[in-house]
Amino acid sequence: MTHAYVVRFVGGPLDGRVDSHAEPQAEPKPTLTHVHLHGGPKIVHHYDLQYAVEYGCEYRLRDSEDETGE
């Protein structure tokens, strides 16, 4: 079985991750939030959706300036 539609992650702790799907999601989420829990403080990263014609879509790590609204 082949997966023609992939979702790639660019930047941050998910950099290089690729999720495969049989078909595109009807309505992909415009933003994904990744929360890293460990022995220290909680670390939150936001990924914004961008389309890539050649394979589907990718979520790119949001700039820290965009997260703070500055």
What are 1-54's pLDDT values in tens digits?
Answer: 565 688 999 999 999 999 988 887 788 899 999 998 888 899 999 999 998 777
What pLDDT is attached to residue 65?
A: 62
Domain that holds residue 56: 5-68
Give the predicted TM-score (pTM) of the model.
0.76
Given this model, what pLDDT does residue 34 score? Answer: 95
Predicted confidence at residue 70, as pLDDT, reads 46
* CA-based nearest residue to 18, from 49, 53, 59, 47: 59
Counting the structural domains of the chain, the total is 1
Q: How confident is the model at residue 67 (pLDDT cuts 50, 70, 90)?
A: low
